[in-house]
Structure 1
Amino acid sequence: MKGFAMILLVVLAVVSMAVRPGEAISCGDVQGYLSPCLQYLTSGGDPSSQCCSGVSGLSGSLQSQQDRQTACYCMKSAASSIPVQQDAAANLPGRCGVSVGYSISPNVDCST
């Protein structure tokens, strides 16, 4: 019986180490979700269904305030390196039927 209890404790210890809380979102994750939107963000028009799927996926992955702030900073950084149409970026969530909880613009304060 002692042997069984010891094996059970070892198994529980291994399982508890393998189960980690969700990791924070990264800029690579944000880019992955939004890469199908590049054409829309630079040229306007209508966002593709793949773009809207990415926006929806990104929105669903933002579980904490830290995730939302990180995504905001990542989007601002990316927008400064590519010629994004500001009105297209600001309208993207609404065009895809998704709410991100803040305005997408170069002037948004990501810390709040």
Structure 2
Amino acid sequence: MVMMKTMGGSVCAVELVMVILALIASSVTVNATITCQDAILKILPCEQYLLGNGGITVPCCQGAQNLNQMANSTADRQAACACFKQVGPSLGVNVDRAKQLPNLCKIDLRGVTIDFTIDCSTIT
């Protein structure tokens, strides 16, 4: 496994993320245009913030805003939800920090709650 140093000095297992994405890719909503890999790559600049190791950054908010704009259909929003619900806990994402991200980055999630126990099929 190839390891990569991040700016904060912590180690990030990039290949582990790709393996997890490959494993869950088939479980994402079929009609969605957003793949789990797309969603993860857009939110990757938020990694240190979401893991509790740093503050919010401009690249993080830009990526989160871009993902929000890409998720312009119910299927896309449900696919992104399913992706983060499955990948987030296994990567150690701090759900309290994830809940703060939309407010910090000025993103309207159209009433969607960030929670790893959410039923993604209820998102419209």
TM-score w.r.t. length of structure 1: 0.75
Q: Read off the aligned partner of 1:85 and give its amino acid letter.
A: N
* Residue 67 in structure 1 maps to residue 76 in structure 2: yes
Deviations 1:72-93, CA, capped at 9 Å, x for gaps:
0011111121111111011111
Give, in whole Å, the separation in 2 of the partners of 1:48 and 1:61. 20
The residue number in structure 2 matching 1:111 is 121
Measure the CA separation in 1 of the matches of 2:74 and 2:113. Answer: 15
2:104 alignment partner, one of 87, 95, 107: 95
Q: Where do 5+ consecutive residues of structure 2 fail to align?
A: 1-31
The superposition leaves residues 53-102 of structure 1 with CA deviations (integer Å, 9 ceiling, x where unpaired) of 00100000011100000000011111121111111011111110001221
- Larger Rg: 1 or 2? 1
Cα RMSD of the aligned pairs, angstroms, is 1.3
Report the equivalent of 1:58.
67
Deviation at 1:46, TM superposition (A): 2.6
TM-score normalised over the length of structure 2: 0.68
The amino acid across from 1:57 in the alignment is: N
Higher helix share: 1
- Which of structures 1 and 2 has the larger relative contact order (alpha carbons within 8 angstroms, sep 6+)? 1
Paired residues in the alignment total 90
% of aligned pairs identical? 37
2:18 alignment counterpart? none
Deviation >6 Å, runs of 4+:
none
Q: Hey, what's the Cα distance between the residues in 1 that align with 2:53 and 2:78?
A: 25
